[in-house]
Structure 1
């Protein structure tokens, strides 16, 4: 099922394809200071895919263990997605709060990645994140 998202200033657009309706998904709210301060909740499905249309308006930062890349809009500073480049390709999770139809999502659940080791984080991301493509 196709869904659309964009940052608050509408500069960066995203297209999300999921195998199930949004109501089947509970976004994951990370409890780290960065994600909490920016009110970010992530959504992914290994059978889905995320395409980002950036127009060169994305800046990438690292937080916590400095493994994953957090993409923000250069103009409004919204966190767009988080990603990691595996040997099999780039995978990531979208900031569910930017979805046009976010009201259809199930309740947000809290997660605590900071409790995981670096290896456990990568294993977790590989198990739950989806393929990600950024188109300039």
Structure 2
């Protein structure tokens, strides 16, 4: 049996912190599992092979998004190429809905199982995201019961 691989994607510091704790717990249960992804120091410390540091995706405000759009799009496209070539056993998306919901749609087409850890805050942002989540996400792991 080949080594199981999980790809974890986050785009901000809080997601990196939560993902780092989750990966640390997972590695205690399954030290043999390979974890790769987009993250930062917390995920790296937990044993993740960092493909891209999340700081390249962490943008605030429309001006910064527009300024860094090309780089963000390149990271997205590189990640898709990697997912196609190395099809992981699971894709874990951590918050960061603008990027991650688009990624979920593409990963679903590739037949990759998707877990959304720390769901997009539909109650605070866009209720319309519920339809997208239902369509492209296989499982949700939420922090609060009302999510």
**TM-score interval w.r.t. the shorter chain?**
under 0.3
Structure (1/2) with the larger helix percentage:
2
Pair member with larger Rg: 2
With a CA cutoff of 8 Å and minimum separation of 6, indicate the structure with the bigger relative contact order: 1
Q: TM-score, normalised by structure 1?
A: 0.24
